[in-house]
Chain A
Amino acid sequence: MKYLEDIGSYFLMLSTVFSRPTKGSVIRELIFKEIDELVINSLGIVAFISFFVGGVVAIQTALNIENPLIPDYLVGFATRQSIILEFAPTFISIIMAGKMGSFITSSIGSMRVTEQIDALEVMGINSLNYLVFPKIIALLFYPFVIAIAMFLGIAGGWVAGVYGDYSTSEAFIRGLQSDFITFHVIYAFIKTFVFAFILATVPSWQGYYMKGGALEVGKASTNSFVWTSVLIILTNFIITSLLLG
């Protein structure tokens, strides 16, 4: 019963987010602020993780294919497929559920605890539109983060593969180019948009409806990570079944 109530309150929140819009000049400023805080500030960690995980994928693939019948370009091919299909869109999003999600939940939760949300409401401002809408719009730029993750993941694979003597540069690049299906990239970006929406709204919902004090802000951040991750995994399964199944 509690879960049904939660789902109901999430969708009610969404309907309020898109009603009674905040003044245009104010919302524009908030969107730029959110792009900076959520998107730009995530680039460093995303770049670091992508580069090294890409390298690990290339090394692991190379170490597990010592059969001479398997073509030498497979390292590049497997790295590309793993990074584009799953690692960049899905696993980076789960990492972002921790970084971005807990930031969103704790910042909105703190505003709830310190009555800043009540202050907005008393002034006649639609607090959900003011707080959540700019995050949704800012995260329309999230696919750029994922595109960078894809590029750096593959670059990390190339560096580890070539400089670690697991593959040649020529074979790795041939692997990257072989059997390339454009739809795989489209599929990756379709799910990235869905994950971006989940990343903007689920942590906001957790923060906005939390009750209590500082301890509960921490609990809400943890819940936010759990809910966001679970939803990302579930929607990943559904989208993959629909688009590739």
Chain B
Amino acid sequence: MIRAENIHKSFGEDHILKGISTVFDRGKTNLIIGQSGSGKTVFLKCLLGLFEPEQGRIYFQDEAIQDMDEDQKTKLRMDMGMVFQGGALFDSLNIEENVMFPLRMFTKKKKEEMVDRVNEVLSRVNLENVNRKFPSEISGGMQKRVAIARAIVNNPKYLFCDEPNSGLDPRTAILIDNLIQEITREYNITTVINTHDMNSVMEIGENIVFLQQGQLAWQGDNSQIFKTDNKSVTDFVYSSDLFKKIRDIQLEED
């Protein structure tokens, strides 16, 4: 579980996060949604410890990251997996070396054990016979799956994903969403996904945090988001023509 309390973050004069407090549950896919510029990425980077909030505290289980020394932070980061928007695979390493990277860095496993574990997670994300290929030689969807494999290879307690299905075709995007949800349940980890994709919200939104202008405007799950009368949420959800049409059809049926 991750708990954020009253998070404030500014860049110069720009006050980006204005007192966000929320909880991300274990074993659930937690989504942070909101329009561009709402502070989603800054909030995610605060959770990851890449940005230091000026005010507020972030608890992993019951320990605040702000109270941790460098060694404790490093240890906590070993329990984190991150899937970046573009995959962020290391260009100079092949797929096997990319996925093996956290194991090489933080474990004392033998090469054979590491290769076995890499093959295990690669097959978990439905990738086979790509070990010797380089990131530039595989498709965007495959790169995302490799990024997921790298994020889970060291059995993390927390999985963070920054727009994991951006730039993917709808079918692959749904596959990636479902894969993340399955992994979250299977490994019982706390997953936080930053997205503005309404399909993801519909598919895997078990706990949705809606940000608007750096504030928490609404929180609920994917069954509640289409029923809420919170205007900022409905404006966001029905900004898509597809969802407008779905709503019109539902209204007609009703």
Chain A residues near B (Cβ < 8 Å): 20, 22-23, 25-26, 33, 110-111, 114-116, 118-119, 121-125
Contacts and interface: CB of A to CB of B under 8 A. Distances in A.
User: Which label, helix, strand, loop or mixed, suits the secondary structure of the A interface?
Assistant: helix
Given A122-B80, A122-B82, A124-B78, A26 B104 contact: yes
Interface of B: 48-50, 70, 73-78, 80, 82, 84-86, 88-92, 101-102, 104-106, 160
A113 to B, nearest CB: 9
Given A20-B70, A121-B50, A115 B77 contact: no
Given A20-B70, A115-B85, A116-B88, A122 B105 contact: no
Lowest 8 CB-CB distances: which A-B pairs, in order?
A: A124-B77, A119-B88, A124-B74, A115-B88, A122-B82, A115-B84, A116-B88, A122-B48
A23 B39 CA distance: 35
B74 to A, nearest CB: 4
Given A118-B82, A119-B90, A124-B74, 14 more contacts: A22-B105, A26-B104, A26-B105, A116-B89, A116-B90, A118-B50, A118-B84, A121-B50, A122-B80, A122-B82, A123-B77, A123-B82, A124-B73, A124-B106
Nearest to A116: B88
Contacts of A114: 86, 88, 91
B86 A115 contact: yes
Contact of A23 (B73, B86, B90, B104): B104
Given A23-B105, A123-B105, A110 B91 contact: yes
Contacts of B160: 122
Nearest to B89: A116
27 contacts: A20-B74, A23-B105, A26-B105, A110-B91, A114-B88, A115-B85, A115-B86, A115-B88, A116-B89, A118-B82, A118-B84, A119-B84, A119-B88, A122-B49, A122-B50, A122-B77, A122-B160, A123-B77, A123-B80, A123-B82, A123-B102, A123-B105, A123-B106, A124-B75, A124-B76, A124-B77, A124-B78
A125 B105 contact: yes
A111 B93 CA distance: 13
